[in-house]
Structure 1
Amino acid sequence: MQEDTKISNYCIFDSHLLTSFTSSLYVAGLFASFFASSVTKAFRRKPSILVGRVAFLAGLALGGAAFNVYMLILGRILLGVGVGFANQET
């Protein structure tokens, strides 16, 4: 067998859409945690926990009902918002 040295195993799936799906949760969580700190400071913990919970559940529902990749990415963004708010509360 001859090995193809031109293609790396790390670059097989060279897709911007797949990359955005993978990183959307982490980026949304990062930005939401910055926003969550001001919400927690202004309204205390309970409303902030509720916002995080609602965003997380909406992301779960949207991800479960997704019929294309863009809905799945939006669901992951909502999951990231929920995780960012929950991270602020711990």
Structure 2
Amino acid sequence: MMNDLLARFNKAFESKARLSIMSVLMVNDAVSFNELKELLSLTDGNLATHLRALEEQGYVLVQKQFIGRKPNTSYSATDAGKQAFTDHLNALEAFIRGGS
């Protein structure tokens, strides 16, 4: 029974950084790179690597634009990302409750 629950965990969300990124994106329409970096206390490289991995999975949408003359990159959770993250949290909750 526990192995079935473990199999429902999504490997994309195993790292603390990705779990944190998705948690922030679930409750915000869009968040800039700098806001994420500050909120999560991650380095540019670390954050970029995790965002790229989530983008490749189709869980995060990247929007690049200019605000004035400054480039601004913002991120939002896709519908697929929201569903995958919700499924992951539900599996985690079921595991914590012992499969009930």
User: TM above 0.5, one fold?
Assistant: no
Q: Larger % of strand: which?
A: 2
Normalized per residue, which structure has more helix?
A: 1
TM-score computed with the length of structure 2 as normaliser: 0.28
TM-score by length of 1: 0.31
Greater gyration radius: 1
